Amino acid sequence: MTTFNGKPRKRNLDIKVTVRKAHGDCYVVDLSGEIDVYTSPKVKEAIGELIDRGVYHLVINLEKVRYIDSTGLGVLIGGLKRVREHGGSVNLVCTNPQIKKIFDITGLVKIFGMFENEDVAMNALV
């Protein structure tokens, strides 16, 4: 934890993570805000906890994410790598053109399933 004048400093993260169960053994992770070097540990923790509990089929909803950088991409890649070890999959919901562009130029669009809405992403889970 960071401190200020020796006292713990309140962490004011611009990211909201909500996990909800969908049908079967599938879960949806709703992310809202900005995913960067400061906030990505919270996202990593949430996804990691699900995988630790044996959840290997995930839809990660990025519709309300305004910004993502390489640390955020790294968290998503790490999650995908872990679920694939168990025959699982991660599909993304993404409608923000700027975020789609980042997945395009990094080639990650070929690795993740990317969809315009949650229902389609859920139905496409392996």
Partner 1 sequence: MNPAVERAVPELVELRVPCRPEWVALARLAAATVANRLSFSLEDIEDVKLAVAEACTAVIQHSGHGEFIDLTCEALSDALRVRVHDSGRHGSPADGGPAMTFDEARVAGLGIFLIRTLMDEVSYDVHPQLGTDLLMIKRLAPGS
Contacts to partner 1 by CB under 8 A: 2, 11, 14, 34, 36-38, 67, 69-71, 73-74, 77-78, 98, 101-102, 105-106
**Burial (CB count <10 Å: 0-12, 13-18, 19+), residue 71:** middle
Nearest to partner 1 of 27, 103 (CB atom): 103
Please, what is the minimum distance in Å from the beta carbon of residue 90 to partner 1? 16
Please, what is the minimum distance in Å from the beta carbon of residue 76 to partner 1? 11
Residues 6+ apart with CB under 8 A from 123: none
Tokens matching residue 110: 């070929």
**Residue 14 one-letter amino acid:** D
Please, what is the minimum distance in Å from the beta carbon of residue 37 to partner 1? 4
